[in-house]
């Protein structure tokens, strides 16, 4: 009688254990990749929420004063960060200014503008719910009654706010509509 080779119970148990170990390692790797992807998606979501809630808004009217040549010399307005937003460092806020007579935007950065008295803010750091009174000094040869300008306020974190205003015919200072 010949001895036939067969799978014994011990060999079957070893193969079964090997399958279980391989499956466990594979599932551990797949779960780890899933957790990593979930964590990254969560970070992106929180970053997007932070960006969207950290915008600065103009609170109220924009006021202007004219120079002797009846050109817009100074613009004043309040800004705030809505409740739930993130505090903004006013040194990091940039204003881009353009008019119908300019070729491109003029950027007014806080750091250089403070030295030239072109930009002032009543707050160094604007907390949610607080207001800051902004004063921007404009160069001579600027906007006259009947002309428009755009102003873009760009905080370091958050969305930019774009405002377009037209000086009404006969404008002599005060609220810019």
pLDDT tens across 18-49, in order? 999 999 999 999 999 999 999 999 999 888 87
Predicted TM-score of the model (pTM): 0.65
**69 and 96 housed in the same domain:** yes
Nearest to 90 by CA among 149, 130, 61: 130
Average pLDDT, integer, range 54-78: 88
Output the domain CATH number for residue 144.
2.60.40.10
Per residue in 81-112, pLDDT (tens digit) is 888 888 888 888 888 888 877 655 666 655 44
Predicted confidence at residue 115, as pLDDT, reads 42
Can you tell me which residue has the tokens 């950290």? 54
Predicted confidence at residue 2, as pLDDT, reads 63
**45 and 69 housed in the same domain:** no
Name the percent of the chain lying above pLDDT 70: 82
Residues 109, 81: contact at Cβ < 8 Å? no
Containing 51, the helix (H) or strand (E) segment is helix 9-53
In sequence order, what are the residues at sequence separation of 6 or more whose Cβ sits closer than 8 angstroms to the Cβ of residue 143? 71, 72, 99, 101, 149, 167
Average pLDDT, integer, range 58-68: 90
Predicted confidence at residue 129, as pLDDT, reads 86
Between the two ends of the chain, the Cα-to-Cα distance in Å is: 109
**93 and 61 housed in the same domain:** yes
Predicted confidence at residue 25, as pLDDT, reads 95
Q: In terms of residue numbers, what domain contains 32?
A: 1-53
**89 and 49 housed in the same domain:** no
Q: Is 26 exposed, middle or buried (0-12, 13-18, 19+ CB in 10 A)?
A: exposed
Alpha-carbon distance values, 20 to 27, 67, 83 (Å): 10, 84, 54
Per residue in 106-145, pLDDT (tens digit) is 666 554 444 444 566 767 888 888 888 888 888 766 788 8
**71 and 38 housed in the same domain:** no
């Amino acid at each position: 009688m010949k001895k036939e080779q067969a799978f014994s119970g011990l060999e079957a148990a070893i193969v079964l254990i090997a399958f279980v170990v391989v499956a466990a390692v594979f599932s551990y790797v797949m779960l780890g990749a899933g957790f990593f992807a979930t964590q990254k998606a969560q970070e992106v979501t929180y970053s997007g929420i932070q960006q969207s809630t950290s915008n600065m808004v103009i609170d109220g009217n924009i006021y202007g004063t004219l120079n002797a040549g009846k050109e817009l010399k100074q613009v004043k307005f309040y800004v705030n960060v809505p409740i739930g937003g993130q505090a903004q460092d006013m040194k990091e806020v940039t204003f881009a200014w353009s008019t119908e007579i300019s070729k491109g935007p003029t950027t007014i950065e806080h750091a250089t503008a403070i030295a030239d008295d072109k930009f002032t803010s009543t707050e160094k750091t604007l907390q949610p719910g607080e207001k800051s009174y902004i004063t921007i000094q404009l160069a001579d040869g600027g906007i006259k009654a009947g002309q428009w300008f755009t102003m873009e306020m760009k905080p370091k974190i958050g969305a930019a706010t774009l405002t377009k205003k037209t000086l009404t015919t006969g404008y002599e200072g005060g609220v810019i509509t």
